[in-house]
A and B are shown apart, each in its own frame.
Chain A
Amino acid sequence: MTVLSLKNVSKSFGSLKVTDDVSFDVPRGEALGIIGPNGAGKSTLFNLVTGNLTPDAGRIEFDGRDVTRMPAMRRCLDGVGRSFQIPQPFEKLTVFENLLVAATHGRAASEAEVLEPCTEVLERTGLLPKSNTAAGALSLLERKRLELARAMATGPKLLLLDEIAGGLTDAECQSLIQTIRDLHSGGVTIIWIEHVLHALTSVVERLLVLDFGRVIGIGEPGSIMESREVKEIYLGIDV
């Protein structure tokens, strides 16, 4: 069954067409990777799916419902969770409070009800020792982890991750991969934008390649990585 469906979605900033007639379906429970060069429109695609941006044309369906013009807040309540490529923590709140906001509002639940899910996320993302630290005082890597943790705290059915593996050590990367695998095997549908290809391909079942806002390939990672277009685009980027 399809959980997310994009039909001929387009978006321009001025004369720059950043999303160009994009169509694809994501079945429930899939892990889909998105790759493409800088400025290809990957993050913009996420913003369209989450409601942070509204498309100029086309249609987006989530869980069988048209959400094309639904506000971001409602989509989160319906089960769309996201991380931001440039971390956007609530700086004056602590790490724990960042998760509390996400869990109480994203799940429409009381603070008491979400204590357990929040502490579980803190444990799984390794942020527990930082629980009572103001998010503004975190390092960049910790902020990225908080992005993942906060998205998890909303209890998403569909989780959108935007470049969260960059800059990690091998051990940290392995533990991140494990966390995402656990989410995936727990039934969460995942779409993951990542330049760290070995991390991405060790998790996802399909890869989507975006270039100049267009989908130039979607399919099984092995064959996508072998295709001529991808090799051309990624010439110079380590594969």
Chain B
Amino acid sequence: MATPYAVTTRTPASSVAMIFGLILVAVLFAAPAFAGRGTIQDLFFILTMLVLAQFWNLLAGYGGLVSVGQQAFVGLGAYALYGAVILGGIDPVVSILIAGLAALVLAVPTAFFAFRLQGAYFAIGTWVIAEVARLSVAQWRAVGGGTGTSLPRDALREMMLVDWIGEAFDVRASAARDILAYWLALTLAVATIAGIYWLLRTKRGLALAAVRDNTEAARSVGVDAGRMKWVVFLTSAFGTGLAGGMIYLQKARISPDAAFSVTDWTAYVIFIVVIGGIGTIEGPIIGVLVLFLLQSFLADFGTWYLMILGLIGIGVMLFAPRGLWGLISERTGLQLFPVRRRLTGGPLMDKEV
């Protein structure tokens, strides 16, 4: 008589969004064929910041771990890449993986230390560790100590795929390197979003939501809240390290103050997530576009630029605490990455659609 029960997460809007998303990714992959070098560099900036924002959002928005020390993983990842290239003679592209692994290694003791701290103390603890990492790396003579260093010319010239890209698009080696970095960043951004969305749709995603709502109750229904924190923290560190490696591979020049900059790699990232909407995948995507536009229009204003960013951030927190995406989804009910599991079928069919 009654249809069997079933569970769906998909909505009509999300199916359409999926198709548009795939088309967008395809167009972005093809972009070097029709976009100039400046555009590719802008897109690279947007994509790498998007990755950092998605991982910070995973930490703070889903895991309740408000870190202000993400620059530790950007910086250490970047320096690990320079170390691997300069000292190990490893291909820079391969070294990106080493960047991720180095961040992961730093994340283990960081977590042991910071997980003992609650709330604001956790945030301060992560920042302290980032400072310690910066000061330590500044002692590392082989990669330029406090003044920094550049990636060796030879390593850049022999980097994999660069020759091929140069010929295929008929561009100089430096532009070809930008295209390669851009493709890597695009791949990382797509993998990050797909990976986080996948995580949220597994039972671990349910556990994250439960822990965020009520940790004590989550433990009482068998959720390993402690392990969820570790999974989220280590995953974020690894992804942030990969992004850090890529960013400084593209820049080809590094210094401790830049690579461990709390403004560049944590403050802007928090701005992106808060403006866009914390605790959603859509939020950071919107937020990074807003930051990019503000930066393009206001970059000439120097200090004023930062103050305007701050004011906008405060304004959004006061008047739209769930960010721009929160406003949009409230008005329209739109969800591009739905995670809600809806029960259908059974006797329910008669009562609701």
Instruction: Kindly specify which of B28-36, B117-125, B209-217, B297-305 makes contact with the partner chain.
Output: B209-217
Q: Nearest CB to that of A106 among chain B residues? A: B222
Q: A73-B224, A105-B203 are in contact. Are A84 and B346 (CB under 8 A)?
A: no
Judged by a CB distance under 8 angstroms, whether A23 is at the interface is no
* Tally of B interface residues using CB under 8 Å: 29
Contacting residues of chain B (31-76) with chain A, CB-CB under 8 angstroms: none
Chain A residues, CB < 8 A from B212: 92
A76 to B, closest residue via Cβ: B222
Q: Kindly provide the distance from the CB of B64 to the nearest chain A CB, expressed in whole angstroms.
A: 13
Q: Which one, A76, A91, A98, A100, contacts B220 given CB within 8 A?
A: A76
Contact residues of A: prevailing secondary structure: helix
Quick one: closest B residue to A92, CB to CB?
A: B213
Residues B199-215 near A (CB distance < 8 A): 203, 206-207, 209-210, 212-214
Q: Looking at the complex, which of B90-98, B144-152, B154-162, B335-343 is the stretch in contact with chain A?
A: B335-343
B residues in contact with A93, CB < 8 Å:
206, 209-210, 213
Q: Please state if B351 and A129 are interface contacts (CB–CB under 8 Å).
A: yes
CB-based nearest B residue for A95: B343
The bracket for how many chain A residues form the interface is: 35 or more
The answer to whether A92 touches B209 (Cβ under 8 A) is: yes
Partner of B223, one of A73, A94, A116: A73
Chain B residues within 8 Å of A115, by CB:
5, 7
| A77 touches B (CB below 8 Å) | yes
Which chain B residues (321-353) contact chain A, with CB distance < 8 Å? 340-343, 346-348, 351-352
**B225 beta carbon closer than 8 Å to chain A:** yes
Taking A93-B206, A96-B341 as given, write out 17 further A-B residue pairs in contact, using a Cβ cutoff of 8 Å, ordered by the A residue number: A72-B216, A73-B219, A73-B225, A90-B209, A90-B214, A90-B218, A96-B342, A98-B210, A101-B206, A101-B209, A105-B207, A110-B203, A115-B7, A119-B5, A119-B346, A128-B346, A131-B348
Residues of B bordering A, CB below 8 Å: 5, 7, 203, 206-207, 209-210, 212-214, 216-225, 340-343, 346-348, 351-352
19 example contacts (A-B, Cβ-Cβ < 8 A) are as follows: A73-B223, A90-B209, A92-B212, A93-B210, A93-B213, A96-B341, A96-B343, A97-B341, A100-B203, A101-B223, A104-B203, A105-B207, A105-B222, A106-B221, A106-B222, A128-B346, A128-B348, A129-B351, A151-B221
Hey, which bits of chain A sit against chain B, CB under 8 A?
Answer: 50-52, 71-73, 76-77, 82, 84, 88-94, 96-98, 100-102, 104-108, 110-111, 115-116, 119, 122, 128-129, 131-132, 150-151, 153-154
